[in-house]
Structure 1
């Protein structure tokens, strides 16, 4: 049971940090109702902590509770967004997901062939940009070529890969 000193300390903490936690939740959740729900839950969980009044940094603890509650809320929303009808269709027709996977693998194989058909320097530039996501400057430095040459190789690589893919489909 909480003593009178702990109760007044918790009331002081609530008074001091209520506004900050509310604003933090409203900004991140963009819903006043959700923010109010989580604000109340934050302080309930804080109060349930046996030594809530003795915590050195109650502000940090409150923000941690609020952040964790928001994460839990987001996870719950993602789970509830799953379309049960789609899940049932996939369970009833497992072949369709296998077929999609096979088609994706086949498309990836054709893409790899397209990249492999590029001239060597063009292929290096294309791979560094599209797969390693290096900037034009980083590619130019790594291959000891100008940025303009990198741009020309990328344009050529994109055009040839597109033509290759169009031909194979």
Structure 2
């Protein structure tokens, strides 16, 4: 009788997150429900973070739909970045939600913003500090493309390579777009603060508040930081 090979130690610090994710997703595709549960549990709070700041009150349904799509679309996964694949699905789910929720014929992610589409703001329900509320409002005033780019980079910590996969462009283009999106965020923050013509705010300040918001909006029970 041949011996059963031991299960690889996924806690090995030498293993990258991409390697662990790929192994778990491959096992899930092969029918291993435990592997699927581990993957979902690891990314649940991250997917929640993606939706809660833009669809408060309806985010739970969007989280569920994203993981259902993930399971249904397993055959479409290529051996790349699982995180890019997951948030690519989340983006599609969110755009479809906007279409149905606000009865839109079409959405232009380059020009349409969440604040214009929804005609409102969720910031007062999500943050107590004024600078945090203003930053949430400023993010919502950006184009959907800029908002996604900044939140996926600063909140989900996707790398330039992963962002390039999500948006379907090269890494140099991503770097250029990030720089432009940062400048537009400063302008929208100044506008939200009632100081549209000031040079008072620096991106270093907004970046610190973005990181604080990430911690605020994630579930308190989630202590992982990958």
Please tell me the TM-score bracket, short chain as reference.
Answer: 0.3 to 0.5
TM-score normalised by structure 2 residue count:
0.30
TM-score normalised by structure 1 residue count:
0.39
Q: Which has the higher contact order (CA 8 A, sep 6+)?
A: 2
